[in-house]
Amino acid sequence: MVDLKATLADAKFVTFLTGAGVSTASGIPDYRSKNGLYANQQDPEYLLSTDNLQQHPADFYDFVKSSMYYPEAKPNAIHEKMAAISNEKGAIITQNVDGLHTAAGAKHVVEFHGNLYHVYCQKCHATVDYRQYLQSDRHAADNGILRPDIVLYGEALSEQAISQAVTAVSQADLIVICGTSFRVAPFSLLVNYAQNDARVIAVNEEKLQLPFPFEMLQADALDVFQQL
């Protein structure tokens, strides 16, 4: 069994790579699991696509508003421990759009797929409070259609996010993958930028098969991080 506590203590720079599994304990469903957000949707990739936003903005808004926003969700022990460790000596790169790493006080976070709570108007590009978006998807000032600043299917990742993520991975002597099956590219390709001698540990309830050397810590991530 990997001694994660000792390994974290010994590491010089820790980069956490996180996915939906770190937020399920905060009450946010893992959208790729069978009970998650996508379970009852016919074509979730289309619902969350730029085509749907542009061609059927009302459908897009209904789906996002009813299925993705959990404004009452609070960071859990995983977010809190990762924030403390990464603020001292590391970084967090997350696929999650829930903003909970930042809410936990983490200062070195790359939100690889954006943040639902950052909303802007497509017409004038003004930033709008997400609470206004949850009332209406129209910008009161100019009737432009609002949208969350997340990466939709059919859209490119932010170059700034990619470059910050590559830097964080290449600096690490310890990489901890947590709460993700790590199967979705390009996020999963980030590990290619790791140093040759960097240690890679995956914390996950289900055993992972990954195409690179790593150590598996098969356990509930919340239990693991509560004990750190």
Instruction: Point out the residues that are catalytic.
Output: 113
SS3 for 147? strand
By the rule CB under 5 A, 142 interacts with Zn ion = yes
List the alpha helices (DSSP H) in 110-153.
130-133
By the rule CB under 5 A, 123 interacts with Zn ion = yes
Structure tokens at 200: 């890679």
The residue number with the shortest CB distance to Zn ion is 121
Which one, of 80, 83, 81, lies nearest residue 92 by Cα?
Answer: 83
Compute the least distance from the CB of residue 135 to Zn ion, in Å.
15
Compute the least distance from the CB of residue 102 to Zn ion, in Å.
25
Per rule CB under 5 A, count of chain residues that contact Zn ion:
6
Question: Would you say 146 or 168 has its CB closer to Zn ion?
Answer: 146
Question: Would you say 41 or 122 has its CB closer to Zn ion?
Answer: 122
By the rule CB under 5 A, 119 interacts with Zn ion = no
Give the interface segment with Zn ion, choosing from 58-66, 77-85, 144-152, 167-175 (CB under 5 A).
144-152
By the rule CB under 5 A, 221 interacts with Zn ion = no
Give the interface segment with Zn ion, choosing from 17-25, 46-54, 88-96, 133-141 (CB under 5 A).
133-141
SS3 for 224? helix
In total, the chain counts a number of residues equal to: 228
State which of residues 75, 114, 144, 179 lies at the interface with Zn ion (CB under 5 A): 144
Question: Would you say 91 and 15 are in contact if contact means Cβ atoms under 8 Å apart?
Answer: yes
Strand segments (E) across the chain: 14-18, 90-94, 109-111, 114-121, 127-128, 146-150, 174-178, 199-204, 215-218
Q: How far apart are CA 167 and CA 90, in angstroms?
A: 11
By the rule CB under 5 A, 124 interacts with Zn ion = yes
By the rule CB under 5 A, 140 interacts with Zn ion = no
Residue labelled with tokens 């960071």: 75
Question: Would you say 150 and 115 are in contact if contact means Cβ atoms under 8 Å apart?
Answer: yes
Residue labelled with tokens 């759009």: 97
Compute the least distance from the CB of residue 111 to Zn ion, in Å.
23
Question: Would you say 47 or 121 has its CB closer to Zn ion?
Answer: 121
Strands 127-128 and 114-121, by their bridges, are antiparallel
By the rule CB under 5 A, 146 interacts with Zn ion = no
By the rule CB under 5 A, 129 interacts with Zn ion = no
Binding site residues, Zn ion, CB under 5 A: 121, 123-124, 139, 142, 144
